Structure 1
Amino acid sequence: MKKLMLGLFVAFGISACSLGDDTKYADCGASTLVEFTGFPLLCNYSVKTPPTTAAVTVVGSQTKMDDLFSKHANSCNVSSDPNIDFTKNYLVGVFAGPKPTTGYSIKITSIVEDACQVVVNYYEKAPGANENVSQTPTNPFDVVLIPKTSKPFIFFKREESSNNIIVGSYSNQCTGADCQKFFQINDYNTLKFLNVEAGQYDFSQYKYVPTIKRGEYTLLLKDVPAEILALNGQTKTYGTPNESAQGGVYFELNQNAVITRVYIDNADTADQTAAIKAFKKIIQDKITSLK
């Protein structure tokens, strides 16, 4: 397991990773989960100078934020609040460094703290063997907001799968704040997306809050009907959920970088087989349990 150590005395900038430095880790007793919020940085900011190697950052002031990132008009299709209250929060980020193609990513999965330190767990993904990639160089990163702290930070690289399922209940007639419920289910945590707007299902543009639940993706995958698995990257709609007042349920399977999307009318329409109706009920119950 690789460890990246970053003390607060160097935390407020993009700093090169120090690998394998076990001497800086202290066993300080039981740890507790740190609540954090995913922050869609690219909606309103760009990195001024991407790091030339793997790096981490902890940003604790607007001045340092302005040093590292350029602010621009919202480029997402949804409303996005670009402001961070640095009297209450830190922006924590992990940077994978330059990559030769698309298909790479890096993701913060959980954050815990004990009496001595804050531990940030993350994983990195490389393109799969059969994944379609372009020869465009990339510099993947991930950032989250956490409550302000005086403790030093340690970054742990974990082994995790990027495969996930997104489920949601939606209606194009839904206009209230957070009236649509969408969740990403991974094998390392479950994310609740905040204030999802009707018809805007690019989830990289939403803030989110996590719940640490392990193995949920693998469990739900067992319930996916064969006819949905056979779509293998296609999109299919059952009934007319976008036209009906009752709306429908959304299912997205991201498996080995192949994305399959399904929209199912809440009403039992003629094109829904018994397996689809049963799976729709599983999704509806799952959403209810996650609310």
Structure 2
Amino acid sequence: MKKLMLGLFVAFGISACSLGDDTKYEDCGANTIVEFTGFPFACNYSIKTPPPNSAVTVVNSQTKMDQLFEKHTNSCSVASDPSIDFTKQYLVGVFAGPKPTTGYAIKITSIVENGCEIIVNYYEKVPAANEAVSQVTTNPYDMVLIPKTSKGFIFIKTNESPDNMIIGNFSNQCTGADCQKFFQINDYNTLKFLNVASGQYDFSQYRYTPTIKRGEYTLLLKDIPAEILALKGQTKTYGTPNESTLGGIYFEMNQSSVITRIYIDNNDTADQTAAVKAFKKLLQDKITSLK
């Protein structure tokens, strides 16, 4: 397990510290969960100078934000709030460093704190076997917002599977803020995406809040009907959920970077087999329980 200690009051330049250093740290008692918010950073900001190696940053002021990042016009298809109130929040980032192709990623999975330190857990993804990649240099990173703190930071690399599912209910009749409910289910946490717009299902453009719960992806995987598993990498719609006043259920599965998308009418339509209807009911109940 790799650890990095980052004192809060040192200069937080991206290159100030690199990931992968073994550092002893003090045992400061039991850990409690730190609530954080996923931040769609790329919608409104770019990195002025990408770090030459793996690195971390904790940005605790607008001055530091302006030093490290360039603000630009929103590049996402939905409205994206770029604001950070540094009197209440800090921006925490992990950077994987330059990679030779696409298919790499780095992700913050959980954050805990004890009496003297904040512990940020993250994992790194490499291209899956047979994953199609482009021969271009990439610089993967992940950014989250945490409550303001005076504690030091430790970053710990863990081993996690990047496979996940996204489930949600959608309707063209849904016009209020956050009336559509969408969740990403991993084996290390569950993310609730905030204010998902109708038909806009690129989830990288939404803020999210996590619930730390292990093993949910593996449990749900057992209940997917064989006919949906067989659609690997395809998109299929059951019924006409976009025309239905009841809307539909969205299901997305990302396995070894192969993405399958399913839209299921909330009405029971002729093309829905008994297995699909049962799976739809399971997803409906799961979404209700996660709200």
Q: TM over 0.5: same fold?
A: yes
Kept in 2: contact 1:11–1:57 (CA 8 A) = no
Does the residue aligned with 1:67 lie in a helix, a strand or coil? helix
For the residues of structure 2 that align with 1:256 and 1:81, how far apart are their CA atoms? Answer: 31
Structure 2: which 5+ runs fail to align? none
Aligned to 2:82: 82
8 Å contact kept, 1:16–1:53: no
User: 2:50: which partner in 1?
Assistant: 50
Question: In 2, Cα distance between the equivalents of 1:143 and 1:175?
Answer: 29
Q: What is the distance in 2 between the residues matched to 1:153 and 1:16?
A: 12
**Distance in 2 between the 1:247 and 1:109 partners?**
32
1: distance between equivalents of 2:124 and 2:57? Answer: 16
| 1:277 paired residue number | 277
- The residue that corresponds to 1:182 in the other structure is 182
Partner of 2:157: 157
What secondary structure sits across from 2:9 in the alignment? helix
Alignment of 1:85-104 (within 5 A): 85-104=85-104
Q: For residue 9 of structure 1, what is the amino acid of its counterpart? A: F
SS in 2 for 1:10: coil
Where do 4+ consecutive residues of structure 1 move more than 6 Å?
A: none
State how far apart, in whole Å, the 2-side matches of 1:57 and 1:13 are: 6
Identify the residue that residue 208 of structure 2 maps to in structure 1: 208
Number of aligned residue pairs:
290
Query: Would you say 1:22 and 2:29 are equivalent positions?
Result: no
Q: Aligned pair in 2 of structure 1 residues 68, 240: CA closer, same or farther (>3 Å)?
A: same
- Residue 163 of structure 2 aligns with an amino acid whose one-letter code is N
Could you tell me the TM-score, scaled by structure 2's length? 0.98
Kept after mapping to 2: 8 A contact 1:44/1:72: yes
Q: What is the alpha-carbon root mean square deviation over aligned residues?
A: 0.8
Q: Counterpart amino acid of 1:80?
A: S
Contact residue 19 and residue 56 of structure 2 kept, 8 A = no
Residue 169 (structure 2) aligns with: 169
Cα distance, 1:18 vs structure 2: 5.3
Gaps of 5+ in 1: none
Secondary structure of the 1:283 match is helix
Would you say the 8 A contact 1:165–1:251 is kept in 2?
yes
Letter in 2 for 1:46: S
- The code of the aligned residue for 1:259 comes to I
